[in-house]
């Protein structure tokens, strides 16, 4: 936990996304290569002008040295090359590591790239192994729960403690889908209602299938450099204003509290470094792997009081036209979720909005965005705050 001391010194100057959803014609490594090269091109740079690569391994195509394998595929020998794995929180932890590496003189400009193909390149048996192996080998796995069951435990705890309802969880899915319906690339675009979510197939009580994130293919990448080097970029530089981390546990059986997460610590550190508060944030891009996870992050990051996340969502504040737009690409619940790279798409959407390139879903007067991700079962949290100059 704690501020990194890097806020305000670094800027994102390039970004790229692959096709998302079902992409059977490219392996995870090919997707990662594609977005790496496309992000460099978007930054107005050549491969020779970029000297760092940070990636996250892929579940569907794991290799021992993932970043090196991607660089090898390209025919590139970057000065700094590393693979990071902190689950879903990897995106923003890797971004901070990239900034720190540049600060330390290990590289000047770094690509952070991630991709996976859980839909097209992973068998059902492989997926079940990943799902069932996430629990503690002695205290959780013997009882057979999968990942949705752990989040159902969190949901039930929030319901019991605060009176949150299944319909209020469903609001999260409806809000995300209302944004996805405006995004031409979203994996799921058909509008849904609270009743649709409530009546969808049961997965792990109280969660239904529409409370759960998608299973997708896809990749995304961003380019980061010092802010003083970003002025010649073809796009408006997006500044990294603040960053924070929070790590509570590895296994949920060891959690001290099921309804409050380490997003409290990561958010507090990011706000402090950025010199901002929740009321100063124009756009929220949060990790919506399951609807209760999204609701708890809203509370823990200070957008409402603890226990009021359900009412906050039910007010419509996060939907199109609301005062706190949330996951304007559709999030993992409707845009795509290819595993650990899932939060990358919240980041690229924030950049797209801050550049003013979001088309029908473009927000006015975008100057700040908060992006948050978590790995494990609400275990390791990372928060970044971005700023765009006028």
Output the pLDDT for position 1: 43
Residue 48 lies in a domain: yes
pLDDT of residue 381: 96
- Domain assignment present for residue 145? The answer is no
Is residue 118 within 8 Å of 127, Cβ to Cβ? yes
User: Tokens for 388?
Assistant: 């765009």
Alpha-carbon gap, residue 89 to 366, rounded angstroms: 24
Cβ–Cβ < 8 Å for 327, 370: no
Assess if residue 363 is contained within a domain: no
The first and second tokens of residue 23, run together, are 């992409």
Side-chain half-sphere of 371: how many Cα atoms within 13 Å? 31
The segments of the chain whose pLDDT lies below 70 read: 1-4, 131-132, 390
What phi and psi, each to the nearest 5 degrees, are found at residue 219?
A: -150, 160
Q: For residue 253, tell me if it sits in a domain.
A: no
In a domain, 45, yes or no: yes
Give the separation between CA 369 and CA 170, rounded to whole angstroms: 24
Distance of alpha carbon 105 from alpha carbon 111, whole angstroms: 15
Residues 6+ apart with CB under 8 A from 11: 224, 225, 226, 227, 230, 233, 237, 238, 239, 240
Q: Does some domain include residue 16?
A: yes
The one-character DSSP state at 212 is B
Whether residue 273 is contained in a domain is answered as: no
Strands (E), the chain: 10-17, 52-55, 80-83, 109-117, 202-204, 207-208, 217-226, 238-247, 283-285, 368-375, 380-388
Contact in structure between 11 and 226 (CB atoms under 8 Å):
yes
The pLDDT value given to residue 390: 60
Residue 146 has a pLDDT of 86
Domain membership flag for residue 150? no
Specify whether the CB–CB gap between 10 and 102 falls below 8 A: yes
69 alpha-carbon distance from chain centroid: 23
Q: Which domain holds residue 62?
A: 10-122+216-229
pTM: 0.96
CATH code of residue 18 = 3.40.47.10
Answer whether 116's CB lies under 8 Å from 62's CB: no
Give SS3 for 257: coil
Q: Cis peptide leading into 206, omega within 30 of 0? A: yes
Whole-angstrom Cα distance, residue 300 to residue 184? 31
How far apart are the two ends of the chain, measured CA to CA in Å?
31
Domain count, the chain: 1
């Amino acid at each position: 936990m704690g501020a990194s001391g890097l806020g305000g010194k670094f800027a994102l100057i390039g970004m790229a996304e692959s096709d998302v959803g079902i992409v059977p014609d490219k392996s995870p490594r090919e997707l990662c290569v594609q977005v790496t090269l496309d992000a460099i091109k978007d930054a107005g740079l050549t491969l020779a002008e970029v000297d760092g690569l940070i990636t996250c391994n892929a579940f569907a195509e794991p290799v021992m040295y993932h970043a090196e394998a991607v660089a090898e595929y390209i025919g590139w020998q970057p000065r700094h090359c590393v693979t990071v794995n902190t689950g879903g929180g990897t995106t923003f932890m890797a971004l901070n590591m990239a900034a720190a590496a540049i600060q330390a003189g290990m590289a000047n400009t770094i690509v952070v790239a991630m991709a996976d193909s859980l839909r097209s390149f992973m068998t059902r048996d492989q997926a079940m192994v990943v799902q069932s192996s996430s629990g503690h080998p002695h205290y959780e796995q013997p009882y057979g729960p999968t990942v949705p069951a752990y989040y159902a435990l969190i949901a039930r705890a929030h319901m019991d403690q605060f009176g949150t309802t299944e319909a209020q969880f469903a609001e999260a899915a409806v809000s995300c889908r209302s944004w996805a319906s405006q995004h031409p690339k979203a994996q799921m675009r058909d509008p849904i209602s609270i009743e649709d979510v409530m009546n969808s197939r049961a997965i792990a009580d109280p969660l239904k299938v529409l409370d759960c994130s998608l299973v997708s293919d896809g990749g995304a990448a961003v380019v980061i450099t010092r802010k003083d080097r970003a002025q010649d970029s073809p796009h408006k530089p997006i500044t990294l204003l603040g960053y924070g981390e929070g790590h509570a546990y590895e296994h949920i059986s060891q959690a001290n509290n099921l309804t409050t997460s380490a997003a409290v610590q990561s958010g507090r550190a990011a706000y402090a470094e950025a010199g901002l508060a929740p009321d100063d944030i124009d756009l929220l891009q949060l990790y919506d792997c399951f609807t209760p996870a999204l609701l708890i992050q809203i509370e823990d990051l200070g957008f409402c009081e603890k226990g009021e996340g359900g009412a906050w969502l039910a007010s419509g504040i996060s939907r199109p036209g609301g005062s706190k737009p949330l996951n304007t690409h559709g999030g993992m619940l409707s845009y795509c979720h290819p595993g650990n790279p899932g939060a990358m798409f919240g980041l690229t959407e924030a950049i797209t909005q801050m550049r003013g390139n979001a088309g029908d879903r473009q927000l006015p007067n975008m100057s700040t965005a908060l992006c948050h991700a978590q790995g494990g079962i609400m275990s390791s949290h990372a928060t970044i705050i971005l700023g765009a100059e006028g």
